[in-house]
């Protein structure tokens, strides 16, 4: 058993170093995860570039990224095993937030708003012991307050690692967006979470699903149709379509019951989202804009009686429902996964998802630290 653990550490924008840390000592209340795979999302790309996180505030703190960790319980304390319902050898997915579990927010089910968080997987600096809080590491520390979800060991690692983007699709579309049987849904953005939202909406019985994307996203839009989208809209290039007018035509003027805005760093889709929603409809905002102020036509919200919700992360319920979708094997999720990388290739993995590697067409990308 090695005394040290290798991990990828982001030390500055666009700079990741492979470092070694002491293997954490596990007591009765905590555990150690052998990381099989960790998916990469758009926020990882923006943090890597310095657009989000501590670096964007001028105070970069080295940390081990990776907030979608999935792997095998390597060690677990006796009390922790009883609390989590796991044993060594079990496969689990780990939530990002590490709440206190004892404040009013936690006790009333609002643990993602916990003011006493004891850390967060994938963003906590390495100067917080025992440093290994992120999934881009051979082993990740499991705090006594970490939240774990069992997941089928027979699934390929890269498929099991999709629990977070699928959880986002479930929560943002169904729990925040309230999509119901027969509803019309507009999904702005065809990345992995947009495609996950298509799956969630189809599973919920949505009547009409419309997805937007760039001309460069043709492969994603094709996959959206395969997963159940009824219509796709290309918003740029020679064949660009006006999103709002196209939705109007496709719905005979009824517009969308629910609109999910999932595009990163773009301002225009916010206005499209408001204008494409029906009177009394719901708009869910989930695409981060790097802290920029985005022009907002509040009169549209008022005059159309819209409900606008901000989508924050993935919670316990959404993770469980997403894992259920994965374990059902009803959808060809292997078509979502396009790239697997080793720990030493972490920077390349992030750049690949960010579209910075010529000739590649990424959708779901994962790092496999022990491959």
* CATH 3.90.180.10, the chain: domain bounds: 4-162+336-368
Q: H helices of the chain, where?
A: 42-49, 78-84, 104-107, 157-160, 163-170, 192-203, 218-227, 243-250, 268-276, 298-303, 316-328, 346-353
Distance (Å, whole) CA 273 – CA 287 = 12
Per-residue model confidence as pLDDT tens digits over 41-100: 988 999 999 988 766 666 779 999 999 999 999 999 999 999 999 999 999 999 999 999
* Cβ-contact 231, 250 below 8 angstroms: yes
Residue in the block written with tokens 């939202």: 197
SS (H, E, C) 40-106: ECHHHHHHHHCCCCHHHHCCCCCECCCCCEEEEEEEECHHHHHHHCCCCCCEEEECCEECCCCCHHH
* Cβ-contact 42, 191 below 8 angstroms: yes
Residue 58: predicted pLDDT? 65
In CATH, what number does 166-310 get?
A: 3.40.50.720
Residue 346: predicted pLDDT? 98
Q: Phi, psi at residue 219, to the nearest 5°?
A: -65, -35
Q: Please tell me the pTM assigned to this model.
A: 0.93
CATH 3.40.50.360 fits 4-162+336-368, yes or no: no
* CATH 3.40.50.720, the chain: domain bounds: 166-310
Strand order in the sheet with 277-285: 231-234, 208-213, 184-188, 256-261, 277-285, 307-310
C-alpha closest to that of 370 among 8, 24, 32, 36: 36
* Cβ-contact 167, 97 below 8 angstroms: no
Distance (Å, whole) CA 8 – CA 20 = 9
Distance (Å, whole) CA 161 – CA 165 = 9
Residues 6+ apart with CB under 8 A from 200: 166, 169, 170, 173, 174, 179, 325
pLDDT tens for the chain, residues 1 to 371:
689 999 999 999 999 999 999 999 999 999 999 999 999 998 899 999 998 876 666 677 999 999 999 999 999 999 999 999 999 999 999 999 999 999 999 999 999 999 999 889 999 999 999 999 999 999 999 999 999 999 999 999 999 999 999 999 999 999 999 999 999 999 999 999 999 999 999 999 999 999 999 999 999 999 999 999 999 999 999 999 999 999 999 999 999 999 999 998 888 999 999 999 999 999 999 998 878 888 888 999 999 999 999 999 999 999 999 999 999 999 999 999 999 999 999 999 999 999 999 999 999 999 999 98
* Cβ-contact 147, 86 below 8 angstroms: no
For residue 25, count other CB atoms closer than 10 A to its CB: 9
Distance (Å, whole) CA 133 – CA 33 = 10
Residue 52: predicted pLDDT? 80
Type and span of the H or E element at 364: strand 364-368
Distance (Å, whole) CA 130 – CA 286 = 32
Residue 57: predicted pLDDT? 67
Distance (Å, whole) CA 245 – CA 251 = 10
Residue 330: predicted pLDDT? 94
Distance (Å, whole) CA 298 – CA 321 = 34
C-alpha closest to that of 35 among 160, 211, 145, 210: 160
Residue 145: predicted pLDDT? 97
Task: Please report the sign of the dihedral spanned by the C-alpha atoms of residue 217, residue 189, residue 179, residue 161.
Answer: positive
Task: Please report the sign of the dihedral spanned by the C-alpha atoms of residue 36, residue 69, residue 285, residue 254.
Answer: positive
């Amino acid at each position: 058993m090695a005394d040290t653990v290798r991990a990828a550490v982001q030390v500055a924008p666009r700079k990741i170093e492979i470092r070694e840390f002491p293997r954490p000592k596990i007591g009765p209340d905590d555990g150690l995860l052998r990381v099989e795979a960790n998916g990469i999302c758009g926020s990882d790309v923006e943090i890597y570039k310095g657009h989000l996180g501590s670096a964007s505030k001028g105070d970069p703190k080295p940390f081990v990224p990776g907030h979608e960790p999935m792997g095998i319980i390597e060690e677990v304390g006796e009390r922790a095993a009883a609390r989590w319902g796991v044993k060594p050898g079990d496969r689990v997915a780990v939530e990002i937030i590490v709440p206190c579990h004892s404040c009013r927010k936690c006790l009333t089910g609002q643990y993602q708003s916990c003011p006493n968080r004891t850390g967060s997987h994938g963003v906590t600096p390495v100067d917080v012991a025992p440093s290994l809080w992120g999934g881009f590491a051979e082993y990740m520390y499991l705090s006594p307050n970490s939240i774990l979800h069992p997941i089928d060991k027979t699934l390929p690692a890269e498929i099991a690692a999709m629990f977070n983007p699928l959880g986002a699709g479930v929560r943002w579309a169904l729990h925040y967006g309230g999509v119901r049987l027969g509803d019309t849904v507009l999904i702005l953005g065809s990345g992995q979470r947009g495609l996950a939202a298509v799956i969630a909406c189809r599973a919920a019985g949505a009547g009409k699903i419309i997805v937007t994307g760039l001309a460069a996203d043709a492969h994603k839009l094709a996959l959206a149709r395969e997963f159940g989208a009824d219509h796709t809209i290309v918003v740029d290039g020679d064949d660009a379509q006006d999103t709002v007018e196209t939705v109007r035509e496709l719905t005979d003027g009824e517009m969308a019951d629910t609109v999910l805005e999932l595009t990163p760093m773009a301002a225009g889709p916010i206005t499209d989202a408001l204008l494409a929603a029906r009177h009394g409809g719901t708009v869910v905002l989930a695409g981060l804009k790097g802290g920029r102020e985005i022009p907002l036509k509040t009169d549209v919200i008022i005059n159309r009686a819209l409900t606008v919700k901000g989508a924050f992360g993935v919670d316990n319920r959404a993770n469980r429902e997403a894992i259920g979708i994965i374990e059902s094997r009803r959808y060809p999720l292997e078509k979502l996964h396009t790239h697997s990388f080793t720990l030493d290739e972490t920077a390349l993995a992030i750049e690949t998802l960010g579209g910075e590697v010529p000739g590649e067409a990424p959708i779901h990308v994962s790092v496999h630290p022990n491959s």
